[in-house]
Amino acid sequence: MKILMLGWELPPHNSGGLGVACLNLSKSLAKMGADIDFVVPYEAEHNIDYMRVLAATHIDPLFRYGGGSAYESEHIEVKRFQEITTHKLYSIRDIQKDYCRFVDRYLMEYKPDVVHAHDWLTYEAGILAKKNYGIPLVAHVHATEYDRGGETGGNPAIHQIEREGLLWADKIIAVSNTTKDIIVKKYGIPADKIDVAYNGFTVPENDDYHFDGSSYQYLENLKKRGYTVVSTVGRFTLQKGLFHLMRAAARAISIHPKMVFLFAGDGEQKDELMRMSADLGISSNVIFTGFIRGKQLRDIYSISDVFVMSSVSEPFGLTALEAAHHGNALVITRQSGVGEVLNSIVRYDFWDEDKLAGALVNIAESPALDETLRDGVKREYTRISWDDVAKKCLNVYDEVQKHKRNRF
């Protein structure tokens, strides 16, 4: 089966989990016989041999969001919408238009069986493929603007793009029931049009990773003195609920001072978070690593004892599985989709800072609880496979193909 994949990023040129998900899903699909062409909006080397990666433009990967992350849309206030639209969204819009023109030229020459579009930036190209060429469209929802907008609701213009893409799609794949519920309630899409396929996790084969503690001697020394290392990884945006986490950290430290918090990532909230840690009097217990990937990211997981996913709304949350793989106990908001596939975790509502602080103190003060959480989640995450996701996608492809044949 010939699949045209539409996405906005692939490793190593990714800014988050979306590119990782696209890469691993495509690899499993290719292993099962799918012939995949994957279109990205930039030109770069990917060193991938199981599918063709096609560049829709000649721009550098750094500029695929028009000079700023597409996910900055979560900070747009409705009253400032017109001003921001003509600035950030328009620059992304130019790239989207070029992307659509490339897909149009591609479809004049090639006839894929299915178009599989990942998230809102590619939906217009997917709609073009269906309207102009009659190719079945599958929309894969890794996040919605309601997720990215956190407690603000996000950008109305992006809501409209998402709604049109979901309406035009023959079938929708959501990464969790949490996401499916948002699609039904916020976008008015019938529930029977949506299949849930949880993201997977691939245990590395012949993994040569080795954690060198000498690079983190300061933290190693703290751990020898009885400190608990708590980490969080991701973009510093409203969606991630990091202000709640910082306040909970202050409360936890006031009860159990031997705790240190690692904030790994970057984003427009970084300066405010740094000021907050100082204002709360805990800056000596908080470390900001900056943006990390690859071995550095795995090192953070390895030095960490507890991983917190504090998201206001998280469709899935691959970083939780990565942290579990490196032996972390997990504390996750009830608003995070990954909690649907894991049981050996501590759950809390994103706004409940007292509950979060109490959970962190309990884990730090109870080695038995810490061990139970670590061991339990290690058994659970290994059951989550990208091959299972790929099989669900192939079933969806067959379904939309059958529907197309029945129409004619």
pLDDT at 81: 32
Distances (CA, A) of 285 to 26, 45, 276, 281: 41, 40, 12, 9
Please compute the mean of the pLDDT values over residues 16-32 and round it to a whole number.
94
pLDDT at 405: 77
pLDDT at 230: 98
Per-residue confidence band for 340, with pLDDT thresholds at 50, 70 and 90: very high
Please compute the mean of the pLDDT values over residues 70-99 and round it to a whole number.
53
Per-residue confidence band for 66, with pLDDT thresholds at 50, 70 and 90: low
Question: For all residues of the chain together, what is the average pLDDT?
Answer: 90
- Inform me whether the pLDDT recorded for 227 exceeds 60: yes
**What pLDDT digit, counting tens, does each position of 131-177 carry?**
999 999 999 999 999 898 876 778 999 999 999 999 999 999 999 99
Please compute the mean of the pLDDT values over residues 399-407 and round it to a whole number.
84
pLDDT at 408: 59
Q: Helix (H, G, I), strand (E, B), or coil: what is residue 231?
A: strand
Per-residue confidence band for 206, with pLDDT thresholds at 50, 70 and 90: low
pLDDT at 68: 46
- Inform me whether the pLDDT recorded for 70 exceeds 70: no
Please compute the mean of the pLDDT values over residues 8-21 and round it to a whole number.
90
Domains with residue ranges and CATH for the chain = 2-200+385-407 (3.40.50.2000), 213-381 (3.40.50.2000)
User: CA torsion angle for 292, 295, 300, 304 (degrees, to 10)?
Assistant: 160
Per-residue confidence band for 231, with pLDDT thresholds at 50, 70 and 90: very high
- Inform me whether the pLDDT recorded for 73 exceeds 70: no
Bigger pLDDT: 355 vs 63: 355
- Inform me whether the pLDDT recorded for 403 exceeds 90: no
Assess contact for 327 and 344: CB atoms under 8 A. no
CA distance 404 to 170: 9
In sequence order, the 6+-apart residues with CB closer than 8 A to the CB of 330 are 306, 307, 309, 320, 323, 324, 342, 344, 345, 346, 373, 377
Please compute the mean of the pLDDT values over residues 313-338 and round it to a whole number.
95
pLDDT at 127: 98
Please compute the mean of the pLDDT values over residues 227-249 and round it to a whole number.
96
Instruction: Give the whole-number percent of the chain exceeding pLDDT 70.
Output: 92
Q: From its phi and psi, is residue 241 left (phi > 0), alpha (psi between -120 and 50) or beta?
A: left
**What pLDDT digit, counting tens, does each position of 98-117 carry?**
999 999 999 999 999 999 99
CA distance 175 to 321: 14
CA distance 286 to 55: 41
Q: Helix (H, G, I), strand (E, B), or coil: what is residue 138?
A: strand
pLDDT at 294: 85
**CA nearest neighbour of 208 among 139, 271, 295, 122:** 295
- Inform me whether the pLDDT recorded for 354 exceeds 70: yes
pLDDT at 406: 76
pLDDT at 373: 97
Q: How many CA atoms lie within 13 A of 388 on its CB side?
A: 12
Per-residue confidence band for 90, with pLDDT thresholds at 50, 70 and 90: very low
